[in-house]
Amino acid sequence: MHLPPIHTISTLDFFVSGDVTIHESAVVAPGAILQAGPQSRIIVEEGACIGMGVILNAYQGDLEIKSGAILGAGVLIIGHGEIGQNACIGSTTTILNTSVEPMTVIPAGSLIGDRTRQTILTAELIEEKDQLSKEMLNGSEPPVTDEFPDPFLEEAEVCVENQPSTAKTETTLVTEGPVVGQVYINQLLFTLFPERRNQNNSKQNQSPKKKE
- Give the per-residue pLDDT at 211: 47
- Give the per-residue pLDDT at 117: 58
In the chain the first and final C-alpha atoms are separated, in Å, by 109
3-state secondary structure the chain: CCCCCCCCCCCCCCEEECCEEECCCCEECCCCEEEECCCCEEEECCCCEECCCCEEEEEEEEEEECCCCEECCCCEEEEEEEECCCCEECCCCEEECCCECCCCEECCCCEECCCCCCCCCCHHHHHHHHHHHHHHHHCCCCCCCCCCCCHHHHHHHHHHHHCCCCCCCCCCCCCCCCCHHHHHHHHHHHHHCHHHHHHHHHHHHHCCCCCC
- Give the per-residue pLDDT at 143: 57
- Give the per-residue pLDDT at 131: 74
- Give the per-residue pLDDT at 157: 61
- Give the per-residue pLDDT at 93: 95
- What CATH topology corresponds to 15-112? UDP N-Acetylglucosamine Acyltransferase; domain 1 (2.160.10)
- Give the per-residue pLDDT at 150: 62
41-70 pLDDT per residue, tens: 999 999 999 999 999 999 999 999 999 999
- Give the per-residue pLDDT at 210: 47
- Give the per-residue pLDDT at 167: 47
Residues of the chain where predicted confidence (pLDDT) is lower than 70: 1-12, 116-126, 129, 135-181, 183-184, 194-212
- Give the per-residue pLDDT at 189: 73
- Give the per-residue pLDDT at 188: 72
Query: Where are the chain's structural domains?
Result: 15-112
